[in-house]
Amino acid sequence: MGSIRERRRKDGSIGYTAQIILKRKGKPTHREAQTFDRRTSAVAWLKNREAELKQPGGIERAKVKGMTVGGLEDYITKGLKGRYLLDPQVTVTIDEYRNFFVNGEVDKPGGYPYVPGLTVRKAVSLAGGFKERAVRDKVTIIRDEDSSQTPKKVDLSSPVMPGDIITVEQSFF
């Protein structure tokens, strides 16, 4: 069901692309890929993702992952229209978001419930604020959807998304 290809990147490093293609009656019905820095990470992702897709409703969940609420409403509406209903009216609401996480030089590091409109400044406030040795301009985020899990430097007004990991660095002086 899945395969892994080794490729040399422009910077000379090697990346491992894990790809899954699902077919029905010989035609691709679902395709997804992720690139990793290590082969072991690609193998682990492939194994976990194949198990997820084999679960009941796994392919449907994969198709809607990353969609906006409006995009999901349109997707469901198109699926219902004609076969089941003449003019379906679909409304999608989000009951609960995934937590985001704050660690490093904050008073109460840990996981917190995400709310729309959250910024790094607000997230740090929820975590009890900066500790005395915190460096306010050395804050990084690892985005949940970033398969390489690379920390990126951000400022206090940067948006926070569900699943993000925020790290506040410590000053040495």
Going residue by residue through the chain (173 aa), what tens digit of pLDDT does each one get?
688 999 898 898 899 999 988 887 888 877 888 888 888 888 888 888 888 888 887 777 777 777 788 888 888 888 888 877 888 888 888 878 889 999 999 999 999 999 999 999 999 999 999 999 999 999 999 998 887 888 999 999 999 999 999 999 998 76
Q: What CA–CA distance (Å, rounded) separates 1 from 45?
A: 13
Please give the pLDDT value at position 146: 80
Q: How far from each other are the two terminal CA atoms of the chain, in whole angstroms?
A: 53
Q: What CA–CA distance (Å, rounded) separates 37 from 16?
A: 6
Question: pTM for this one?
Answer: 0.59
Q: What CA–CA distance (Å, rounded) separates 145 from 120?
A: 17
User: Which two three-digit tokens encode residue 23?
Assistant: 């077919």
Q: What CA–CA distance (Å, rounded) separates 127 from 121?
A: 10
Please give the pLDDT value at position 173: 66
Q: Would you call 67 helix, strand, or coil by DSSP?
A: coil
Distance (Å) of CA 78 to CA 68, 86, 121, 125: 15, 11, 40, 42
CA dihedral (65, 68, 70, 72) in degrees, to 10, reads 0
User: Which two three-digit tokens encode residue 162?
Assistant: 């569900």
